[in-house]
Amino acid sequence: MSAGGMNKRLKVLIAAVLLPLGVLIPFLSLESHYSTQTSAQSTDSALEQRKEQYRAKLQADISKAQQDRLKLRCSVVQANVKNLAGRLGEIQTKRTTAYDAILGELNALLTLLDTQGVDTTNLKTDVTSLSDKVTTYKTQMTAYKQAVDDMTVIDCSQDPVSFQAALSVARSEHDALVTTTGDIRTYITNTIKPALQTMRTQIETGQITGGTQ
């Protein structure tokens, strides 16, 4: 393929990568109120281990009076968590699919650029950083889902401390998720997109030329 033909192909591919970024970024900015799906496969022993871990993370002891108040309220909280269960699964699927699609397009572009001898050092660094952020998101989402999942099966009337502990962990993981998803959105907008747009401009102006190695 001629250099001109390859440059045209590179521009088309970069444009193809930029297009889904423009579509997905508004979606990724949506405020998400996470919930969970009830997990039936957790063994009692595994749940007990997680309850111990949750309790170990409590910042302060829960008084008897606080436990009594929690017993009166926790069933309502549990019902709300279960009612919102479907939303978490849908949000997780859509968001993870969106992130994986972006990374897939970027890695495909890197592969093509590499085969044409284009210097992709900076873009590779950017994509690696984005991939690391997505991995962090997936880890946090797994932890968040598990904590809220456990909230739906802990007997809050008999074990209010574990329920409160799981709730505290869920809140903490949710806050971490909000930070991470915001960081990913900002990174795509302020780093990935400008890098691709700059590369496309350089190809159009002849500063980058594709050719066989």
- Residues with Cβ within 8 Å of 84's Cβ and at least 6 positions away in sequence, in order, are 33, 35, 36
Lowest mean pLDDT among 19-23, 90-94, 155-159, 192-196: 19-23
3-state helix, strand, coil in the chain (%, to 5): 80, 0, 20
Q: List the domain boundaries for the chain.
A: 3-29+66-204
pLDDT higher than threshold 90 for residue 53: yes
**Mean of pLDDT over the chain:** 80
Rounded distance between C-alpha atoms, residue 86 and residue 169, angstroms: 20
Question: pLDDT band at residue 31, thresholds of 50, 70 and 90?
Answer: very low
pLDDT higher than threshold 80 for residue 38: no
Please state the pTM of the whole predicted model. 0.77
Q: Contact 181/137 with Cβ under 8 angstroms? A: yes
Query: Regarding predicted confidence, which is higher, 188 or 78?
Result: 188
Residue from 106, 113, 105 nearest 212 by CA: 113
Alpha-helical (H) ranges within 116-159 are 121-151
pLDDT at 213: 42
pLDDT higher than threshold 60 for residue 34: no
Length of the chain in residues, anyone? Answer: 213
What is the per-residue pLDDT across 84-127, written as a single tens digit (0 to 9) for each? 666 777 888 889 999 999 999 999 999 988 888 888 899 999 99
Rounded distance between C-alpha atoms, residue 139 and residue 121, angstroms: 27
Question: pLDDT band at residue 36, thresholds of 50, 70 and 90?
Answer: very low
**What is the number of H-type helices and E-type strands within the chain?**
7, 0
- Residues with Cβ within 8 Å of 112's Cβ and at least 6 positions away in sequence, in order, are 9, 10, 13
pLDDT at 78: 84
**Three-state secondary-structure class, residue 140:** helix
Q: Contact 13/169 with Cβ under 8 angstroms? A: no
pLDDT at 122: 92
Q: Contact 167/149 with Cβ under 8 angstroms? A: no
Q: What is the mean pLDDT of residues 29-55?
A: 65
Q: Contact 192/21 with Cβ under 8 angstroms? A: yes
Torsion of CA 141, 146, 51, 75, to 10 degrees: 110
pLDDT higher than threshold 70 for residue 203: yes
Q: What is the mean pLDDT of residues 62-84?
A: 84
